[in-house]
Amino acid sequence: MKKRKLGQFQVGAVGLGCMNLSHAYGTPPAPQAAADLLLRALDLGVDFFDTAALYGFGANERLVGEVLKPHRHRFVLASKCGMTGVNGKRVIDGRPETLRATCEEALQRLQTDVIDLYYLHRRDFSVPIEDSVGALADLVQAGKIRAIGLSEISAETLRRAHGVHPITAVQSEYSLWSREAEIAVIDACREIGATFVAFSPLARGFLGGELNDPATQLVPGDIRLAMPRFTPEHFARNLQLLPRYREIASACGATPAQLALAWILARQPEMVLIPGTRSLAHLADNVAAAELNLSAQVVAELDDLINTATVSGGRYNAATLKEIDTEQFAA
């Protein structure tokens, strides 16, 4: 797979987001199925795996550690702190002592001596970002982690954090239908030399082209049921974008999912993508997207078809928006 720079590392343009093997999208797959997918990703050339303490409240880190420990030398490992499960509830906590404790727990679950890239999963607005990043810098100094990342962060906060310690990566949502990162933080990453890592590049599965009715296809506990774009009113409007989108994919000899990933790779040549999946077939499709070259005309047509103006509904509900630090488009 074609490589892209991620701080001191070189990784494939398409990595693997491991969250949905344990968290947020309904009942997780059986352990053996999850293990098979992780190992198949390695076989296909994936060398960047992304997990977090939050996912399954530790279960995802444990899964990744148990399955991939024998192959640790073959991939770059990313995890996250600052948002974890406490007594069965999701808690954002960026205090230095919490981040240090979470890292120690993560190292045990991941069965490794060092985490290559460790993100602050969410900014804790009650703790100065300088204090949270300072604690992560201490972990670098102690050899517990190799590099620091931030997730769902604004350009201003990124610059403040970078003043404490070099920031290697910023992870935020980015896809045809989620363009908030284009407001400022992608440019800020280029300014400081950080890599932007795009999560949900398939628009939470929407651009895979197989989701037609969230009310019947999504199971209880799926986080998309609380997202405005997947409510009946907004989703019906968004579905109207897919017929032409599928036509473009077919003309390019690509699956809808491959088209979504290839659009980002063509438009953002420094970006690394971490789509998630539970399907071996979808995994193979996603990896193959790294070899798909789109013409400037196709990129422009996709830009015009699916964008902030044509998509109905926000990416998060009001409660979740209060928890993130990213720039937002005017309502």
**What's the pLDDT score for residue 331?**
72
The string of pLDDT tens digits covering residues 130-171 is 999 999 999 999 999 999 999 999 999 999 999 999 999 999
For residues 259 and 302, is the Cβ–Cβ distance under 8 A?
A: yes
- 3-class SS string, the chain: CCEEEECCEEEECECEECHHHCCCECCCCCHHHHHHHHHHHHHCCCCEEECCCCHHHHHHHHHHHHHHHHHHHHCEEEEEECEEEECCEEEECCCHHHHHHHHHHHHHHHCCCCEEEEEECCCCCCCCHHHHHHHHHHHHHCCCEEEEEEECCCHHHHHHHHCCCCCCEEEEECECCECHHHCCHHHHHHHHCCEEEEECCCCCCHHHCCCCCHHHHCCCCEHHHHCHHHCHHHHHHHHCCHHHHHHHHHHCCCCHHHHHHHHHHHHCCCCEECCCCCCHHHHHHHHHHHHCCCCHHHHHHHHHHCCCCCCCCCCCCHHHHCCCCCCCCCC
The separation between the first and the last C-alpha atoms of the chain, rounded to the nearest angstrom, is 39
Is 328 domain-assigned? no
b/e code 145-182 from CB counts within 10 Å (16+ = b): bbbbbbbbbbbebbeebbebbebbbbbbbbbbbbbbbb
Structural domains of the chain, count: 1
- pLDDT tens for each residue of the chain, 331 residues long: 899 999 999 999 999 999 999 999 989 999 999 999 999 999 999 999 999 999 999 999 999 999 999 999 999 999 999 999 999 899 999 999 999 999 999 999 999 999 999 999 999 999 999 999 999 999 999 999 999 999 999 999 999 999 999 999 999 999 999 999 999 999 999 999 999 999 999 999 999 999 999 999 999 999 999 999 999 999 999 999 999 999 999 999 999 999 999 999 999 999 999 999 999 999 999 999 999 999 999 999 999 999 999 999 999 999 999 999 999 998 7
Please indicate whether residue 245 is annotated as part of the active site: no
User: Tell me, what's the pLDDT at 330?
Assistant: 85
Q: Which CATH number do you get for residue 279?
A: 3.20.20.100
Asked whether residue 327 is domain-assigned, the answer is no
Determine, yes or no, domain membership for 331.
no
> Within a domain: residue 233?
yes
Q: What is the pLDDT of residue 236?
A: 97
Closest CA to 155 of 199, 121, 194: 194
Give the C-alpha separation, 246 to 238, whole Å: 13
User: Which residue type, as a one-letter code, is found at position 102?
Assistant: T
Q: Does residue 247 sit within a domain?
A: yes
Catalytic residue, candidates 55, 119, 245, 316: 55
Query: Does the residue 242 lie in any domain?
Result: yes
Sheet holding 16-17, edge to edge: 16-17, 48-50, 76-81, 115-120, 145-151, 169-173, 195-199, 272-273
- CA 312-314-315 angle, 5° bins: 115
Domain range for 248 is: 3-321
Cα 41 to Cα 45: distance, rounded to the nearest angstrom: 7
pTM for this structure?
A: 0.98
Per the structure block, which two tokens stand in for 290?
């790294």
Chain-centre distance for alpha carbon 41: 16
**207 part of a folded domain:** yes
Max Cα distance, the chain (Å): 54
Report residue 288 as tokens: 């193959």
Residues in a beta bridge with 3: 12
Q: What pLDDT score does 250 carry?
A: 98
Is residue 194, in this structure, part of any structural domain at all? yes
Tokens of 111: 């069965």
**Which two structure tokens, joined as six digits, stand for 269?**
């040549």
User: What is d(CA 197, CA 306) in angstroms, rounded to the nearest whole number?
Assistant: 21
Handedness of CA 104, 110, 111, 116 (dihedral sign): negative
